[in-house]
Amino acid sequence: MKAIITTTGRDRVGILAAVAGYISEMNCNVEDISQTVMQGNFVMIMMISLDGSSHSFEEVSEGLSRLFPQGDLTVSMQRAEIFDAMHRV
Amino acid sequence: MFNPSDIKETLGMVKDQKLDVRTVTMAVSILDCVSDSPKKCAQRVYDKVARSARSLVPVCRDIEREYGIPIVNKRVSVTPVALVGAASGGYEEIALALDRAGEEIGVDYVGGYSALVQKGITDAESAFLGTVPHVLASTKKL
């Protein structure tokens, strides 16, 4: 299963490292990544594959939501099919 | 692999334009709950709805979480009660049983407290329609 992780919020050091480190701990593979910073606003979109992981979607997703307890960054994880369904005929 | 602008647009649909799934409805046939005893009929209706739709709300929540799109209403819809209750006349007992089952499984609405009268109305259906105001006032999920 593929999923899209979206991270948004105020830019600071270590956001990519924190998300990627957690994904690695969960034994998920990062397949693609896009990152932009606009006027200090950080937006990162990451496609991951859960195929090699023994963790469920729910476990990975819940861990992600606890990754930035300071509340300055929002992380969400959704199945990739929803984005295909919205934009591909 | 993926187009970031497509993803941002989809996220915007949910966050800014409030895209949601308005309702997921599970249809449950309660025709096999017919009985000439109002109590027995109501118990069968409760048992069947509570048993067959018990996973509806958890499954909808999983779908919401996995796809990131809210599902506003989770609903169960049953065979028109005017048909099922005609043999016993226990329409209000069935309504209360449906209401209890709806509470038990956590759905937002239970549909089906209705009659098919578009081609004419029988005495039983007329009696049923007379119960509608009281039932709607005394139940939460119907």
Q: Which residues of B touch A (CB under 8 A)?
A: 1-4, 6-11, 13, 62, 65-69
CA quadruple B129, B131, B137, B142: dihedral sign: negative
Q: Cβ separation of A86 and B69 shorter than 8 Å?
A: no
ipTM of the complex: 0.78
CATH code at position A35: 3.30.70.260
* Mean pLDDT, residues B28-50 taken together: 96
Number of independent structural domains in chain A: 1
CA distance B50 to chain A (A): 26
Structure tokens at A46: 């990451």
- Residue A35 CB neighbours (<10 A): 14
Q: Looking at residue B129, what is its pLDDT?
A: 96
Per-residue pLDDT tens over the stretch A9-59: 999 899 999 999 999 999 999 999 999 988 778 999 999 999 989 999 999
Amino acid identity, position B102: G
Q: Cβ separation of A87 and B3 shorter than 8 Å?
A: yes
- Say if residues B30 and B48 touch (Cβ distance below 8 Å): yes
Q: Cβ separation of B1 and A82 shorter than 8 Å?
A: no
- Say if residues B32 and B47 touch (Cβ distance below 8 Å): no
Alpha-carbon separation of residue A57 from A24, A76, A79, B31, B67 (angstroms): 14, 12, 9, 39, 11
Per-residue pLDDT tens over the stretch B57-84: 999 999 999 999 999 999 999 999 999 9
Taking contacts as CB-CB distances below 8 angstroms, the residues of chain A near B10 are 82-83, 86-87
pLDDT tier, B1 (very low <50, low <70, confident <90, very high otherwise): low
Structure tokens at A1: 């299963």
Helices (H), A11-79: 15-25, 57-65
Structure tokens at A69: 């307890």
- Sequence spans of domains, chain B: 18-138
Per-residue pLDDT tens over the stretch B49-61: 999 999 999 999 9
Alpha-carbon separation of residue B100 from B21, B104, B106, B139 (angstroms): 25, 6, 10, 9
What percent of chain A is helix, strand and coil (3-state, nearest 5)? 30, 40, 30
Q: Looking at residue A39, what is its pLDDT?
A: 78
Per-residue pLDDT tens over the stretch A53-85: 999 999 999 999 999 988 889 999 999 999 888
Q: Looking at residue A56, what is its pLDDT?
A: 92
Is residue B110 helix, strand or coil?
A: strand
Q: Measured between alpha carbons, how far is B132 from A28 in angstroms, rounded to an integer?
A: 55
Q: Residue A6 sits in which domain range?
A: 2-87
Taking contacts as CB-CB distances below 8 angstroms, the residues of chain B near A78 are 66-68
B8, B66, B69, B71: best mutation site toward chain A, by most A Cβ within 10 Å? Answer: B66
